[in-house]
Amino acid sequence: MKIGPLDLGERPLLLAPMEDVTDVSFRVLCREQGADMVYTEFVNSDGLIRDVPRTIAKMKTLEEEAPVGIQIYGQHPDAMVEAARMADRAAELAGGHGADLIDINFGCPVSKIAARGAGSGMMKEPDKMVAITKAVVEAVGKPVTVKTRLGWDDNSKIIVELAERLQDVGISALTIHGRTRCQLYKGEADWTLIGAVKANPRMHIPIIGNGDITDGPSARQAFDRYGVDGIMIGRATYGHPWIFREIKYFLEKGEAMPEPTLPEKVALARRHLALSLQYKGEPRGIYEMRRHLSCYFKGLPDFKPLRMRMVTTLDVAELQDIFDTILTQYA
């Protein structure tokens, strides 16, 4: 699968952009664990053009995580164009590697974003969505991609026609989450319309499917039944960065990869913590990886007391002690 000059190989697996999840530490870890491409957290276009330091800092990426996309969102066309130009210059403005592509977020269903017409809120205004996309494509030199949903609700699943329009204004790839905005993350993702977009003879850009990919069999079905060029994985990665290795193992061998041993999971959790502390320091580096920590050890019996300690402490030494205790009690 190629996105502009980027060659991601056959059947690539991509880490979805997720707020408060895909920070630099998790992106690096997922690349180490087999992700073929990663994306930043959502970058607010209004924050960028106002030079908000924390927003600009979200654009900092590293060589070891490349290829990496910077994802921007917003509802104002002029702000989106200027933000895209800034993302195009991310290495200069924020340091590090910069962006290999710029992705436009037309998919986030969170009310505080969608209610003001950004993210998947743009599904109510497809003409505006296409106009913003066209302006961004014309404003930057790097490939521009879009991530969106099937439509606003069950009565407005517009993705097949919308995909053509977005392609026609110059995007290099399209990621489709198989739910409407009104579904949020409820119910099962509907891949039939993703497949319909891919099967449309007018479409020639890569189509990336997203939604409910949790293991090798679901990934193989997405590739084989619906014909997508790539798969983007989101919530199933929480505390489970080795999912990329698992899926690739299944696609190659047709059987499940042996689950990492508990010492291997502890080693990954320690690696994740070290990266988070390296890039964010204390206590933020601990606080912002809590959603991952307990997920590393799902399924351990009578784990609640240790889990509660793990997700409440801000002390590095205590976390390391908890990891040691896990090894002593469960290995």
- Active site positions, annotated: 108
Tell me the helices (H) and strands (E) count for the chain, helix number first: 16, 10
Give how far the C-alpha of residue 4 lies from the chain's centroid of Cα atoms, to the nearest Å: 19
DSSP state letter for 95: -
Residues with Cβ within 8 Å of 323's Cβ and at least 6 positions away in sequence, in order, are 266, 269, 270
Quote the tokens at residue 69: 């996309």
Distances (CA, A) of 272 to 20, 96, 266: 15, 20, 10
Q: Are 133 and 169 in contact, with CB atoms under 8 Å apart?
A: yes
Q: Which of 97, 28, 29 is nearest to 59 (CA)?
A: 97
DSSP 208-255: EEESS--SHHHHHHHHHHH--SEEEE-GGGTT-TTHHHHHHHHHHHSS
Q: Residue holding tokens 């087999």?
A: 34
Segment holding 145, helix H or strand E: strand 144-149
| CA dist., res. 280 & res. 71, Å (int) | 20
- Largest Cα separation within the chain, whole Å, is 59
Cis peptide before 67 (omega within 30 of 0): yes
* Phi-psi group of 301: left, alpha or beta (phi > 0 → left; psi -120 to 50 → alpha; rest → beta): beta
